[in-house]
Amino acid sequence: MAQEYFEISFRLVAALFAGGLIGLERSYRGRAAGFPTHALVCIASSLLMPVTVYESHWFHPAADGARATIDPTRMAQGIMTGIGFLGAGVIVKEGLSVRGLTTAASIWVTAAIGILTGIGFYFAAGLCTLLTLGTLSLFRWIEGKLPTEHYANFSLRFARDAAMPEAELRRLVAEHGFSIYNLSYRLTGDGEQFEYRMVLRAIGSQSSRALSDALKADRSVLEYRIAPASD
């Protein structure tokens, strides 16, 4: 029995570690579904597997034929399907930001814990409750301390004969901590204006304000736009 409990603990912690690593990469890339979300989803998926792997711990049929007609795993499948719709309802997109992903994941893992509690698999349910609470608190703190990549769509417009040279533009952008991707050019305003368009990347979100201040001070700039890029 002790060996089996150790194996259950190892599997849940391994799931937490694997999901956390994937979420760590997503958090670094500035994605909405980051560290806690991936960890919770991975724990929940791992948590439900002992229902069948360690069935002898919680299911004791009264008769030999009972197993053929009574299958609690079917009920678990139905519960998790319904919880999926509930989780989707708490995810809200506001402009370019997404809220509620971690809440949706926590609802899902809570449902998984409820299933195991309902079938009497208390050890796995209790352990996962502790892991989930640790994920929601400790991982959120770690995520807040991590450097994060930020992307922005950037456009810049000049009079055709007063356009900033590309080399100078690259230097200005680099001085404010950005890298340039997908640079494009176009003439607009009946050919009287020249426009740069690109995607900017930086570590941290403070660079945009400094770049905006520098552009406001440049009288040759007719118009510019720095907009956070969604996932």
Give 83-100 pLDDT, tens digit per residue: 666 567 667 665 555 667
| Cα–Cα distance measured from residue 103 to residue 23, given in angstroms and rounded to the nearest whole number | 15
Mean pLDDT of 140-147: 73
Closest CA to 55 of 43, 33, 71, 39: 71
CA-CA-CA-CA torsion sign (77, 78, 83, 84): positive
pLDDT at 107: 72
The more confident residue out of 180 and 132 is: 180
pLDDT at 32: 59
The more confident residue out of 82 and 222 is: 222
Neighbours of 137 (CB within 10 A): 11
Amino acid at position 204, single letter: G
**110 pLDDT above the threshold of 80:** no
β-strands 179-188, 149-159 pairing: unpaired
**116 pLDDT above the threshold of 80:** no
**231 pLDDT above the threshold of 60:** no
| pTM assigned to the model | 0.49
Sorting pLDDT into bands at 50, 70 and 90, what band is 230? low
